[in-house]
Chains A and B, each alone.
Chain A
Amino acid sequence: MNSNSFSPARIWTLATATVTQLVRMKIMAFLVVFCVIVVAAGFAFPVMNPEQQLKLLKDVSFGALQIFSVVIAIVSTALLLPRDLEDRTLYTILSKPVPRYEYLLGKLIGVLLLIGAGLFLMDIAFSAVLWLRQSLVLAQSVGALKQEGVATPEAIAQLTEFVGKQGLTWNIHLGVLAIFLKASIIAALSLMISCFASSTLFTVVISLLVTIIGHGQGLIREYFFSEGMNQIMKKLGSAVLAILTPDLGIFDVLDNVINGEIVSAISAGVMIGTAAIYVTGYVLVSHLLFVEKEL
């Protein structure tokens, strides 16, 4: 067999080793913290109205999911390459017939598998709590209607529809998908930075900075590319900004999800396409940097 050829098996070996490495670094302890936060948010503030209770639960849970995914994407990716270099495990790996791009892909896929699995488990926990809370809220509200003597079938149906819209829908999972896609971009970005960074701290700080700028791209465009600006300059400036930092605003569908609005298929497609373009771009640049890296 020509071991120089692209080998998904080798990439999978590196990816699973990365997952095991991160799992044994107790990085998934965040899952327990998340569950506590979700349960607390789900059953706190029972005096709020039903809509507010469900919105708060979604707000807090999505916030925790975002923090988990961004922190893991930046920190774990920033740690992996320097640690392998420091421990010289990189020497023993790359002295085998392993092309450098396979090593990079293995590491990135490992981080994404971990984030994906973490988000999946948290999505299950979140959905369960939300469904439970939604059922309780509905039962309480129907009870209140009955007490007031206005529990007509139409009123109950209207209430059920309203609570259902604010409760567990496929939109919730689309929100989680948006978080995962955003985390994928950030992980690929961190990987690229760690290919030339001199320290883990540098990678973490720069990745965080680019993530923050990426979230505020809309504001930056609005502020710097004012009305009076030449159209060509405006487009050029926007393009440069989009190349330097990913436009993470595209993934900000969570407010819509929290408000019970439907995320369209087009929005989902744009998010997936954007993530694919950025991840591919960052991986390509990472390869160009890493292939020249002196070990």
Chain B
Amino acid sequence: MPDSAPSPPAVTVENLTKVFKSGLGKQAFVAVRDLSLTVEKGEVYGLIGPNGSGKSTTMKAILGLLSPTMGKTTIFGKSSTEVESRRDVGFLPENPYFYKHLSGLETLLFYGRLCSMSGRDLQDKAREMLMLTGLEDASNRRVAGFSKGMLQRLGLAQALLHEPRLIILDEPTAGVDPAGSRKIRDLIMGFKERGITVLVTSHLLEQIQEVCDRVGIMAHGRMVREGKLDDLIAVENETELILADASPDLLAEIRTLAESRGAKWIRSGHSRTTLERLFLESTEEPKS
């Protein structure tokens, strides 16, 4: 008889509460209050919120770096308290640093060995990851000389090295220039296509909007909104109409028709590009 048991979600957080004890006479700090969320396999889930809203604490609890005061977290059905649960996870912390004395390649070999990888396989995989993250030219350079964007990409490379099924990214584009940021975003899109689950936090909402399937919004340690991105951001009673090469007469006709049918005309005008797109178009070298 085939096993019909449903496979567990990539991540579950059940009624997570985390209280940080303070010194004598000081009040304890509640970083996360009764938080629950589920990340299904293959989806890109964005956790957003202002600084101090509890996003990083939640991520650390999922990774087993912090123990919950109450509640529990799992990764692919295994409790985060089990070391084994981290076998299928790649983690990129915010502003990662690595051993400065190692080169890019040596760093990946070090992390690969920690994941029980070795020999030719590890060498090949490390070089593949350097290529994927655009660091092949820096493979023999000491990490001490890496820029912030390069460190971020090296962080992604070490997170991907052992082919995890879940990737957790804490502010992956923090301090990275728009080109580097675009590169990271493209990588996340690539993970999605390969069926890798991604849990990402960022305060750059536009980027979250571009890559995420579902979003959770945290404030003061609580989940205040959660759902599919399209459902969350759609304005129910408004409709967007984008036309190319429309003459002023045509626009006037459309407006008259709309108003005659009881619709309220809110605005019209030229579409605008984003500042990021303008930056990238202006700074990218022309392809020969």
Instruction: List residues of chain A with CB under 8 Å of any chain B CB.
Output: 1-4, 7, 9-10, 13-14, 17, 20-21, 24, 87-89, 91-99, 292, 294-295
Contact = CB atoms under 8 A, between A and B. Distances in A.
Contacts of B146: none
Given A92-B159, A294-B67, 17 more contacts: A9-B116, A17-B99, A17-B110, A20-B99, A20-B102, A24-B101, A88-B97, A91-B63, A92-B91, A92-B155, A94-B63, A97-B83, A98-B114, A99-B83, A294-B66, A295-B60, A295-B66
B99 A96 contact: no
Nearest to A20: B101
A94 B86 CA distance: 9
A220 B37 CA distance: 59
B65 A2 contact: no
Nearest to B98: A89
Majority SS at the chain A contact face: loop
A24 B142 CA distance: 12
Given A10-B116, A89-B99, A98 B91 contact: no
Nearest to B18: A294
Contacts, number: 90
Interface residues of B, number: 35
Contacts of B15: none
Nearest to B142: A24
A110 to B, nearest CB: 12
Contact of A3 (B67, B96, B116): B116
A92 B60 CA distance: 11
Contact of B115 (A2, A3, A87, A94): A3
B224 to A, nearest CB: 25
B116 A92 contact: no
Contacts of B114: 10, 13-14, 93, 96-98
Contact of B84 (A4, A24, A295): A4
B115 A97 contact: yes
B230 interface: no
Contacts of A96: 86, 111, 114-115, 162
Given A21-B101, A87-B97, A92-B91, A9 B113 contact: yes
Contacts of A7: 116
A24 B100 CA distance: 10
B20 interface: yes
B95 A13 contact: no
B193 interface: no
B154 to A, nearest CB: 10
Nearest to B170: A91
Q: Which of A92, A94, A95 neighbours the largest number of chain B CB atoms within 10 Å of its CB?
A: A95
B65 A97 contact: no
B89 interface: yes
B113 to A, nearest CB: 4
B99 A95 contact: no
Given A13-B113, A96-B111, A4 B63 contact: no
A56 B95 CA distance: 54
B107 to A, nearest CB: 9
B116 A91 contact: no
A98 B67 contact: no
20 contacts: A4-B82, A9-B118, A10-B113, A13-B114, A21-B99, A21-B101, A88-B94, A89-B97, A89-B98, A89-B99, A91-B91, A92-B91, A92-B96, A93-B114, A95-B86, A97-B83, A97-B86, A97-B87, A99-B83, A294-B67
A175 B14 CA distance: 58
Interface in B34-92: 60, 63-67, 82-84, 86-87, 89, 91
Contacts of B87: 3, 97
A12 to B, nearest CB: 9
B158 interface: yes
A82 to B, nearest CB: 13
Contacts of B155: 92
B178 interface: no
A92 B158 contact: yes
Nearest to B90: A95
Contact of B95 (A88, A94, A99, A292): A88
Contacts of B65: 91, 94-95, 294-295
Nearest to A23: B101
Nearest to B162: A96
B93 interface: yes
A99 B83 CA distance: 6
B84 A97 contact: yes
A54 to B, nearest CB: 41
Contacts of A13: 110, 113-114
Interface in B92-139: 93-99, 101-102, 110-111, 113-116, 118
